[in-house]
Structure formats: structure tokens, C-alpha cells
Amino acid sequence: MNFFDKMHELTNVRLNEVQKQAVRYADGPLLLLASPGSGKTTTLNMKIGYLMLVKKVPASKILAITFSKASASDMEARFEQFFHTLTMERVQFSTIHSFAFKIVREYFRMNSINYQLIEGEKGSYLHKRNIIRTIFIEHRKIAPTEDEMDELLSYISFAKNKMVSDTELGKIDCSIGEAAKIYKAYDTFKKQNPQNLLVDFDDMLTYCYEILRDDTVVRHKYQQLYDYVLTDESQDNSVVQHEIVQILAAPQNNLCVVADDDQSIFMWRGADVSRLLNFQTIYANGKIVTMAQNYRSTKEIVDTANQFIKRNKNRYDKTMFTENPQGKKIEIRNMRRFDLQLNYLVDEIQKATTPKEMIVLYRNNASAIRLIDQLEKKDIPFYMKDVDVKFFRHWIVEDVLNFMRLSYNDSRVDILEKIYPKMNAYIKKAQITQLLASNDQSSCFDQLQKNIHAPYQEQALRKAKKLIKSINSMAPQEAIDVIRKQLGYDKSLKNVAERLGFNEEHLLSTISQLEHLSEGLPNLEAFAQRLKDLEEIMQTSRFNKNENVVTLSTLHSSKGLEFDCVYMIDLIDGIIPSKEDMKDFKEGNSEKMDEAVRLFYVGMTRARHHLELLTYTMKDEESVSPSAFIDDVKKIMLGEAVGELQLSDKVLKDEVVRSKSVVTNKSYQTKKVRDIPKDAIKSRDELQRGTVVLHQVYDQGYVKQINDEEIEIIFD
Ligand code: ATP
Ligand code: MG
């Protein structure tokens, strides 16, 4: 039996001619540039099997590299599944980082260089972020905001990955003043002690590259170690990563690069697609194979996604097609309000018979928090792909907890010190300093009364004291409302946003999330405990991906995966595309928008049969606009021309416009939905044609028809 027949028997996949050609093309550089679901990863795996079983290449001579840990283990699992009966040999599936770090560690050991990791779980107290923050302060004489820190970290990572020279550093788009200087100071700081280097993740790559480039012995050793090098998802490789792969594969250049430029979603981290598009310039004898047939998804999904990606003009034009059946229509759900999306999702997950065939995708991790809260309350298990507990460590969360702490004992100056500028009691720093110096154990507010700096402070202090005391016995949701509205916290957030350049919507949405998480909890202790529990639930994923549970993932981490049912959520302007994507685009720079389009495309193409795009028009009592990309998808489905992107003007304006009449109207409805228990309607007799009903998920509707079997309700 020949290899391909055997593979068909084992995996039920019969490779097509192009795939077979790619499998057989073992010697020399090969670029497999192909659409999602066209079998790139499958072909790569088969190729490794072919090398081992047909060409008798020992497993130790083959190096398979992927971008993320998850894809390395996915690929290894698929390989095991295919080949475990045929070979006991193990192939090395590595992420580029872990492989690079191995070389660096070995080199450091041989040359007696000590090093200290400053990033990741095993990073020491001397952490990358803290070091950069300190350097920022040294240069700018002011503390950076977290948003500025994020931008700076991206800038540094981008510059490293793109191997930008010192003279070019200033040309990278970055709004942080002196970014280039901070970058260089950070680099110098890490190398301060040449015998004990500080190393972050990006340095692992740079050091690896420099070692391979400069040390002939190490270079030859690794070049001889591997006869075949294969890389999946190469569209996300950065310049330095490409350089490493290029050196390792030389001089034979038995290199198989698998990629899809339309799925490049890490440009912001320095990914470099131009390398792929110039493959034949780099390798004169390089062969490029393209594959356009999608085996994963229904025709409905393939055709729609294929049209959608064509919005991007700057791409290697290809047309994805499929011979799969048409399948169901893509579902676009505009849920009116955010909480309805949440209810709907929970309902769908609860109803699913095979939840492990279901994935919920979002752009930002923040989208997962309230969903997890709900799932956990209802005892619905889930698997979370990439855990990020940043939310629980946010200073807003800490502020709210501090207000609550103070309500137990308002003589705690140490707590008041942390929040006094964030309440409307006109407390000055000098007053706090005085309190700190005194030994008085009485209420801080009473102490302050003895030394007010202006007559109006007296009443403000009295009010603040009373309010803080009162929240102690309140339900947490009510307490947060008092903190926000009566103690002036919301106002202070707006000030902070204005003065320090934070994104105001982001701040307000963080506090709203917190308020929602407090829903239904009896007291402040329960609230604090709930936050702790949620953080722990997220961190200690109690289920793994092999169990029959739903997966939650960011769009970025869903790369390469496939599921029967995909739910893309929070598809609104301001999230995808983000405000920055939109702003740049309006200013004539489409790079970020193109990447958002690709990210959306990656999401859509994960689905085998069922794709749902979820959006809403109201969040936290503010109107929002469904993503412009949804408009595109709708038009494609209706056979209309896509045309210009219809971006929400509102999101582009700095000021968030609050439409007052809508707000009152909708908040009233929110209450109604919450207050009506699910089984409020006890008997069918209460319903008749025209009765207006409220549904947990679909919101308001009216009864159209009733018969003995069914009640037909039309929802908006
Ligand atoms: P992505 O770009 O999303 O990573 P991919 O190109 O790597 O996608 P695979 O994951 O390898 O695609 O394959 C997608 C699906 O198509 C898998 O379920 C795989 O088993 C199936 N498949 C691949 N090739 C064939 C084929 N020739 N016949 C039938 N099914 C195939
Ligand atoms: Mg793949």
C-alpha cells in the first residue's frame, strides 16, 4: 500500500494532488501559501510522516516550529493521532521561543554567562514592566499610565522583533515621547552586568539570532542537527524569527514554510509578511505552492469569508472555494443590549449537546469576564484558552474595594490616603499628611473637620462620612452606585481620563463590569470574595480542552483551530474595529484596519458548520454601533456590493455622546427584564394574541398566534 493510501486509511483524509505534491517536495525550499482550512497543517503533518516513513529520515533530524505553545501542542497531538501506530519516534515540535531559548541557554552555560529572566511566570521580581516603568519615569519625570505602558511595551517589542536599527527607531509610529531613548536605556540596563544578563522573551530571539550568526561552531552544530525544517503559521513570524529559521535551514535549505498572509494578525508585534511574498528573491530555487480549496467550512461560510477578505487591497490575491455543501446561513444577531447577548450565549451553551464543538471568540479578554461569571453561577463548565486576569488587578477594582474597606472603619488613614482624590470631599494632600502624622484613632472625617481648608469643605466631609458609613450595610451593587454617583468616583474617572490620557470609555466600562459582577450578592464581603473566586476560576482552568466543554478564546488564540459552531461576540465599532483602527483609517492609514479585517476573517474561518456574529446597540446605558464588518457580511450575504466601510462617527468622536431619552427608556427595560423571574407567566391562559412579553434573551415581543402545541412570538 502506498503512503497516501495508508494515510487515507488511517486519517480518513485523502490528500488532493497539490497537497501530495507538497508532501513529496522534500528537498529544497518550499512555501505553501494557502487559504484557511485548505489543509496546510494537515499537509505539514503528512509531510513529516512522509519524511520519516518513506524517506527514512530519523525523527531527530526534523524540526517543526510553530508560533504559539498551543499550536505546537495541537500539531503534536494531530501528528500522534495520525502516526502513533506507525512509528515510536518522536519529532520535535517547538515554539520558536522555546527553541531559541534552548540555544541561548546552552551558549550562556558554555560561556559561563549568568542570566535572569525578567518576563513570564518564572520571571523574577525584577520584571520587564517595572524596569521599563522606572526608566520612563527617569526620562519623563512623570509616571506613565497603564495605557502608555502598554503602548511602550508594544513599541519595544515591535522594534526588537523587526530588528530596527538605532537610527531607524524614531521612525516607528509611537505617541510616547522619548520612546527611542527609553528603548535604548532599557537595552543598556539589561546588559549592565555582562556576566549576569537580564533577558526578556524578545531577547531570547535576538540572542539566539546573534549566536547563530556570529558563532560558527554553534551555527554548524545546529545546521547539521536538522536536515529538515518546517514552520507552520509563518505569516506571524517576525523578522528575527525568519532570520533564525533561515540560518537553521541552511545550507541545504530543506525548508517548508506554511503560511497564509490573509491570516497575519501579529503585525503589531513585528510580524513580517513581506518575507513570504519575497520568498523567491530569498531562495532563487524556491517553490511556491498555493492551495485554495477549503475542506473545513460550508460553502456559505467559505464564500462569505472569501468576499469579506477582499476588502483588503494590499494582499496576495487568491480566491478560496469549497466543494462542501452550502450549509446553513450565517446568523447575524443584533441583540439590542449587551446583557441580552450574554443571556443568549449562556442559553446556547446550556442547550448544546456537544459543547466541546463550540467556541466563543472575542477580541479582548475583558469580554470573557461577565460570561465566565454567568457560566460559573449556572455551574456550566468551560475551558478558557488564554487566561488574563489583568481585570482583577486593575486600579479601579482596588479603588472600589478601598471605598468598601473604609466603610468598615473610617479611621483608616492608610486607606483614605489611596482614594481621597477620587471622592468629592475636597481633601488635600497636606491634610492627609497631617492625619498620617497624628496618632488619633477617631474617624478621619472628624479629624479633618477640625482643620478644614475652606468653609465648603465642612459639609462635603460630613456628607462623605455619612455616605461611606452607609455603604457598609448595602448590597454591593447599590454600594458601587453610591460610590460612582454620590461620592463622585465617576467624575474622578473622567478627570483622570482627561488629565492622564486614559481612555474614558475603557475606565467607565471597567467600573460597569464591576457593578454587574456584584449583581445579586448580599454584602460587601461576598463581593470581595466573588472577585477572588472569579480570578481563581480563570487561573486554574478546571477543565482542559479534551473534555466536553465549551471553549472561550480570543480571536488571536483561535488561529489554526476548527470547531463546528463558532460564536463571535461583542462585534461593535470600538472593539472590532477598535477606535485606533478607525482613527488611523480615517487619516488614510489602513494598516491597522487591514489587520482587524484579517482578525475577523480568522474568526469566521474557524467554523465548520455554524457561524454566529453577535452584536448589540446598547451597552451600559449608552448606544453603540454594530461593527462595520457586520455590515459588510450582511451585504455579501444579500449579494450587494460592499463599498466603503461604514464606520460609526460616534466612536470616532472623543466625546461619548449620551442620548438621554434612550438611556432612561432602556434602563427602565433593563430593570424589568431583571425583575421578572423566568417563569413569571405561569399559565398559557395569561397569554393571548397581541400580549406583549419580555424574553430573557430576545427581549420584547408580542404573541402572534397560540394553538395547543405552540405559541408563536414575534420579537423585534
Ligand atoms: P488554517 O489556515 O486555519 O490553519 P489549514 O490550512 O491548516 O487551516 P487544516 O487545519 O490542515 O487547514 O485542515 C482543515 C480541515 O480540512 C481539517 O479538518 C482537515 O482534516 C481537512 N482536510 C485537509 N485536507 C483535506 C483533504 N484533502 N480532504 C479532506 N479533508 C481535508
Ligand atoms: Mg493550520
Question: What confidence tens digit (pLDDT) does each residue in 412-448 have?
Answer: 999 999 999 999 999 999 999 999 998 889 999 999 9
> Which range is least confidently modeled, 22-36, 197-211, 500-514?
500-514
Please state the atom number of ligand 1 nearest to the C-alpha of residue 42: 11
- Whose cell is 460616534? That residue is 650
| C-beta 297 within 6 A of ligand 1 | no
Measure the CA–CA gap between 609 and 247, rounded to whole angstroms.
41
CA angle in degrees (0–180, nearest 5) for 690-692-694: 150
Task: Kindly give the distance from the C-alpha atom of residue 602 to the centroid of ligand 1, in angstroms, as a whole number.
Answer: 14
Q: Is 620 within 8 Å of 484 (Cβ atoms)? A: no
Each residue of 21-37: pLDDT tens digit?
A: 999 998 999 999 999 99
Which stretch of DSSP H or E encloses residue 441? none
688 versus 58: the higher-pLDDT residue is 58
503 and 453 in a common domain: yes
The answer on 215 and 95 residing in a single domain is yes
Residue 355 belongs to a domain: yes
Residue 677, pLDDT > 60, answer no
Q: Report how far residue 344's alpha carbon sits from residue 298's, in angstroms, rounded to the nearest whole number.
A: 24
Same domain, 470 and 588: no
Q: What is the mean pLDDT of residues 66-82?
A: 83
Determine whether the annotation assigns residue 36 to a binding site: yes
Residues 425 and 504 in one domain: yes
Shared-domain flag, residues 89 and 213: yes
Residue-level pLDDT at 159: 95
Better-scored residue on pLDDT, 372 or 122: 372
**Residues 641, 502 within the same domain:** no
Residues contacting 164, CB < 8 A, separation 6+: 158, 172
Residue at 356 is within a domain: yes
Residues 603, 558: contact at Cβ < 8 Å?
Answer: yes
**Chain segment 233-248, per-residue pLDDT in tens:** 999 999 999 999 999 9
Q: Is 295 in the pocket of ligand 1 (CB under 6 A)?
A: yes
Q: Which range marks the domain in which residue 636 is found?
A: 331-387+541-660
Please state the φ and ψ torsions of residue 655, each to the nearest 5 degrees.
Answer: -75, 130
User: For residue 44, which atom of ligand 1 is closest to its CA?
Assistant: 11
Alpha-carbon 539 to chain mean position: 16
Is 541 in contact with 383 (CB distance < 8 Å)?
yes
Q: What pLDDT is attached to residue 659? A: 28
Question: Of all atoms in ligand 1, which is nearest to the CA of residue 295?
Answer: 16
CA distance 477 to 483: 10
Q: Whose CA is nearest to atom 8 of ligand 1?
A: 37
Return the residue whose CA atom lies nearest to atom 24 of ligand 1: 39
pLDDT band at 672 (very low <50, low <70, confident <90, very high): very low
pLDDT at 28: 95
Q: How many CA atoms lie within 13 A of 377 on its CB side?
A: 17
C-alpha of residue 265 to centroid of ligand 2, in Å: 14
Q: Please report the sign of the dihedral spanned by the C-alpha atoms of residue 422, residue 427, residue 433, residue 439.
A: negative
Residue 149 lies in a domain: yes
177 is in an annotated binding site: no
Instruction: Evaluate whether residue 106 is within a structural domain.
Output: no
DSSP reduced 3-state for 420: helix
Residue 414 falls within a domain, yes or no? yes
For the stretch 344-356, pLDDT in tens is 999 999 999 999 9
CA–CA distance, 65 with 258 (Å, rounded to integer): 10
Average pLDDT, stretch 261-277?
Answer: 89
What's 215's DSSP letter? -
Helix (H) or strand (E) holding 323: none
What is the rounded distance in angstroms from the CA atom of residue 601 to the CA atom of residue 595? 10
Residues 616 and 333 sit within 8 Å (Cβ to Cβ): no
92 lines ligand 1 (CB under 6 A): no
Does residue 221 carry a pLDDT above 50? yes
In a domain, 138, yes or no: yes
pLDDT at 459 over 90: yes
Nearest CA to ligand 1 atom 15: 296
Instruction: Tell me, yes or no, whether 383 and 343 share the same domain.
Output: yes
Residue 16 CA, closest ligand 1 atom number: 27
Please work out whether the CB of residue 260 comes within 6 Å of at least one atom of ligand 1: yes
Give yes or no: residues 654 and 568 share one domain.
Answer: yes
When pLDDT is cut at 50, 70 and 90, the band that residue 683 belongs to is low
In a domain, 308, yes or no: no
- State the distance from the centre of ligand 1 to the C-alpha of 405, rounded, in angstroms: 55
Do 209 and 189 fall into the same domain? no
For the segment 538-556, what is each residue's pLDDT rounded down to a tens digit? 887 666 767 899 999 999 9
Q: Which pLDDT score, from 0 to 100, does residue 662 have?
A: 28
pLDDT of amino acid 70: 77
Give the Cα separation of 266 and 269 in Å (integer).
5
Residue 580, pLDDT > 50, answer yes
Domain boundary residue, one of 660, 685, 702: 660
pLDDT averaged over the chain? Answer: 89
Question: Taking a C-beta distance cutoff of 8 angstroms, is the pair 158, 185 a contact?
Answer: no
445, 609, 653 from 466: Cα distances, Å: 10, 58, 38
State residue 620's pLDDT score. 80
Contact 605, 296 (CB under 8 A): yes
Q: Give CA separation, 321 vs 34, 260, 269, 318, 641, in Å.
A: 11, 15, 31, 10, 19
Residue 555: give its domain's CATH number. Answer: 3.40.50.300
- Distance CA(54)–CA(11), nearest Å, equals 17
Ligand 1 atom 21 nearest Cα: 295
Domain boundary among 245, 276, 293: 293
pTM confidence score: 0.86
Q: How many domains does the chain have?
A: 5
First to last CA, the chain: 60
The pair phi, psi for residue 342, each rounded to 5°, is -65, -50
For residue 15 and ligand 1, the question of a CB distance below 6 A is answered with yes
Other CB atoms within 10 A of residue 73 CB: 14
Provide the pLDDT confidence category of residue 664 given band limits of 50, 70 and 90. Answer: very low
One domain for residues 132 and 257: no
Instruction: Write the CA distances from 155 to 171, 184, 428, 543, 555, integer angstroms.
Output: 11, 12, 37, 35, 22
Any binding-site annotation on 460? Answer: no
pLDDT given for residue 268 in this prediction: 84
37 assigned ligand-binding residue:
yes
Structural Rg of the chain based on CA atoms: 29
Ligand 1 contact, 79 CB (< 6 A): no
Using the 3D structure, point to which of 162, 193, 224 is the last residue of a domain: 193
Q: Among 9, 31, 42, 289, which residue has the most ligand 1 atoms within 8 Å of its CB, making it the best to mutate?
A: 42
Between the ranges 61-75, 170-184, 293-307, 523-537, where is the mean pLDDT highest?
293-307
Closest to 624 in 3D by CA, of 644, 646, 601, 649: 649
In a domain, 22, yes or no: yes
**Ligand 1 binding pocket includes 19 (Cβ within 6 Å):** yes
Same domain? For 605 and 624 the reply is yes
Say if ligand 1 is within 6 A of residue 476 CB: no
Number of the ligand closest to the Cα of 4: 1
Range from 57-66, 372-381, 696-705 carrying the lowest mean pLDDT: 696-705
Same domain assignment for residues 149 and 274 = no
* pLDDT (0 to 100) of residue 655: 39
What the block records as the C-alpha cell of 455 is 468653609
Q: Binding site annotation covers 35?
A: yes
How many angstroms separate the alpha carbon of residue 252 from the centre of ligand 2? 25
Question: Is there a binding annotation on residue 40?
Answer: yes
Query: Exposed, middle or buried by CB within 10 Å (0-12, 13-18, 19+), for 659?
Result: middle
- Pocket-testing residue among 16, 295, 318, 608, ligand 1, by greatest number of atoms within 8 A of Cβ: 295
Question: Which residue's CA is minimally distant from atom 2 of ligand 1?
Answer: 36
